Amino acid sequence: MTQNFTVTGMTCGHCERAVKTAIAQLDPQAQVTIDRAANRVEIDSAQPRDALAKAIAGEGYPVSA
């Protein structure tokens, strides 16, 4: 299931890796695609949307949608 999030504050490759690592800890099978310029994070995962959003926000990147 593909889930899209609008995530602000990702400014560099390190930020992308932090988000990807947090998602991987929640779901090692997740496929994560990040478009930093568009503030978009696309996650293919069976995990609930709330849990994915919480993992991203937990790294310090606000999830607005």
Q: How far is the CB of 14 from Cu ion (least distance, A)?
A: 4
Residue (17 or 54) nearer to Cu ion, CB: 17
Q: Say which amino acid occupies 53.
A: A
Task: Look at residue 6 and give its three-state secondary structure.
Answer: strand
Q: How far is the CB of 42 from Cu ion (least distance, A)?
A: 19
List of E strands, the chain: 2-6, 31-35, 40-44
Q: How far is the CB of 48 from Cu ion (least distance, A)?
A: 27
What part of residues 4-43 is at the interface with Cu ion (CB under 5 A)?
A: 11-12, 14-15
CA distances from 6 to 9, 51 (A): 10, 15
Q: Which residues bind Cu ion (CB under 5 A)?
A: 11-12, 14-15
